[in-house]
Amino acid sequence: MRSSYLFALIIVVLIPTSVRGECTPLFSTAATYSTASNPRDVAIGDLNGDGRPDLVAVATVGGEDIFVLLNNGGGTFQPAVNYIAGAGPISVVISELNGDGWPDLAAANRFGADVSILLGNGDGTFQPANNYSAGSDPTWVAIGDMNGDGRLDLVVTNLTANQISVLLGNGNGTFQLPVPYAVGTFPISVAMGDLNGDPWPDLAVANLSTNNVSVLLNNGNGTFTPAPNSPVSVGTSPLSVAMGDLDGDGQRDLVVANSGSNNVSVLLGLAGGKFQAAVNYTGVNAPYDVAIGDINGDSRVDLAVANYSNGNPSNVSVFRGNGCGTFQPRVNFDAGNGPASVAISDLNGDGRTDMAVANSTSPNVSVLWNTSSSIGFTQQPASQFVTVGQSAAFSVIVTGTGPLSYQWCRNGTALTNGVLFSGVTTSTLTVTSATAAEVGAYDVRITGGCNGTIGATSNPAVLNVRPCHGDFNGDNLFDSLDIQPIVDALLAGEMCP
């Protein structure tokens, strides 16, 4: 029996990407969520394993509060649940500390000279805090494997002791006594990452009173040595330091929020843990914190800066990255009162990076939803059956900020205009005089705005081509070779050959 149809089945999973033509992100009016007391820091992580990023905030002044706000999905959060830490928690981080696979919390308690560890139960709730000595006046806590033993350790800044403290982890959520390392005057924050390619995690410490950043290189065993050019100069009164690759060269760079000089310092990394001289970006007002990530979806690193004193309400500044370690002038978005911390993540699952802000002079956390316009399909291409020699056309209707570019593909390979195909870079693709060779899955990839670096891909549409009517020998033609089977069938008294 001869097959009547040629058939191809392709299944493609489509994940659309957000885009805005000029790359400038847009955010909704800030939504506020009560925390009962004024938060100083905010962190983002999935606390109950439902795939939705949750919020954790800590309140320093007059309290011992850690607030957990579980994500409902769809852009809302549950009311804050309060947990008790030590005296004056000022910094919080989320990580898995005891090997059970569930996220735990670590909070630096400024007025308690310790760090609180709250082990997670896996459902978004936490066990009572256990406190570990962390040196005097701790103001920041960071987590990483400092000595390569597979157990996470803590690094804490000790503001008035002019040092950092390293607490090696035992792997079960407990920690050893702190080991101090001298840095500059009034160290207030620390960032962690490999700066010299060895690949042990190194440290960058913002020193509030000496207007510089101390760089400590890891010896590979959890001990540290100052880098050759440490400390490096930044602006006045640096409060926050963040680390990331800003220019795509594989070297980690530094970004520092300078509250005294009202600017942000960018220091591009060099080999061996060294840095270029700081380049400063203005337009911020008493910046307290900085976060690094792709905010506008163009695959380039951007900056989000929490401005403590920039009106009532205050705001967050977004600096769009150019991809080479430089940035566009800031764009401001209103938050709450006294923003002291900003964290970024896709909080509602729409593929766009949102912002969470701890408002230190009001009892709430602000969430700014990214509303940048995106490429979308109001009409997807439709699958088709045609007979050999007939034409087929696939069309899409697209929404999005232009200019938009189109590229049609078959089975993942880009098509070119020619005898068989036309309109391969338009919204409508035409397949002329189809044969079995054109069977396959067709989709269109669209880019637009943001230097054409982002876009979306349509759903696939399958083209099936059946032989022409009367083609009995499968050569896709009805010719003299097909006559004999008809004659033979009629002589034999059969209805069909």
Question: What is the rounded end-to-end Cα distance, in angstroms, of the chain?
Answer: 11
pLDDT at 401: 59
Query: What's the alpha-carbon Rg for the chain, to the nearest Å?
Result: 30
Strands (E) in 271-425, as ranges, are 279-281, 287-293, 302-307, 315-319, 331-334, 339-345, 354-359, 364-368, 376-379, 384-387, 392-395, 397-399, 404-410, 413-414, 421-422
- Spans in the chain with pLDDT lower than 70: 1-24, 62, 310-313, 373-374, 400-402, 448-455, 468-497
Structure pTM?
A: 0.76
- Tell me how far apart the alpha carbons of residues 297 and 294 are, in angstroms, rounded to a whole number: 6
Q: Which helix (H) or strand (E) segment is 242 a member of?
A: strand 238-244
Q: From start to end of 54-146, where are the E strands?
A: 54-59, 65-69, 81-84, 89-95, 104-109, 114-118, 130-133, 138-144
pLDDT number for residue 16: 32
Q: Which stretch of DSSP H or E encloses residue 206?
A: strand 202-207
Task: Spell 131-159 as b/e; 16+ CB within 10 A means b.
Answer: bbbbbebbbbbbbbbbbeeebbbbbbbbb
Cβ–Cβ under 8 Å, residues 92 and 107: yes
Residue 84's Cα: distance from chain center in Å? 30
Maximum Cα interatomic distance, the chain, rounded to a whole number of Å: 107
**Residue 4's pLDDT is what?**
31
Nearest 5°: the CA angle 487, 491, 495 is 80
Neighbours of 445 (CB within 10 A): 15
pLDDT of 371: 84
Q: Which pLDDT value is given to residue 363? A: 94
Copy the structure tokens of residue 308.
Answer: 């403590």
| pLDDT value, residue 400 | 66
Residue 397 burial (CB count, 10 A) = 11
pLDDT at residue 311, rounded to an integer: 61
What pLDDT is stored for residue 254 in this prediction? 98
Q: For the residues of 411-476, what is the DSSP string, one character each? A: TTEE---SSSEE-TTSSEEEE-S--GGG-EEEEEEEEESGGG--EEEPPPEEEEEEPPTT--SSSS
Instruction: Give the strand pairing for 455-457 and 397-399.
Output: unpaired
| Model pLDDT for residues 277-329, shown as the tens digit of each residue | 999 999 999 999 999 998 987 778 999 999 998 566 689 999 999 889 999 99
Dihedral sign for Cα atoms in the order 169, 175, 179, 184: positive
Distance (Å, whole) CA 165 – CA 163: 7
Q: What integer pLDDT is reported at residue 22 of this predicted model?
A: 47
How does strand 364-368 pair with strand 31-34? antiparallel
Q: Dump pLDDT digits (tens) for 412-435.
A: 999 999 999 999 999 999 999 899
The answer to whether residues 239 and 188 touch, using CB atoms and an 8 Å cutoff, is yes
pLDDT tens digits, residue range 264-275? 999 999 999 999
Q: What is the pLDDT of residue 313?
A: 66
Give me 14's structure tokens. 């489509």
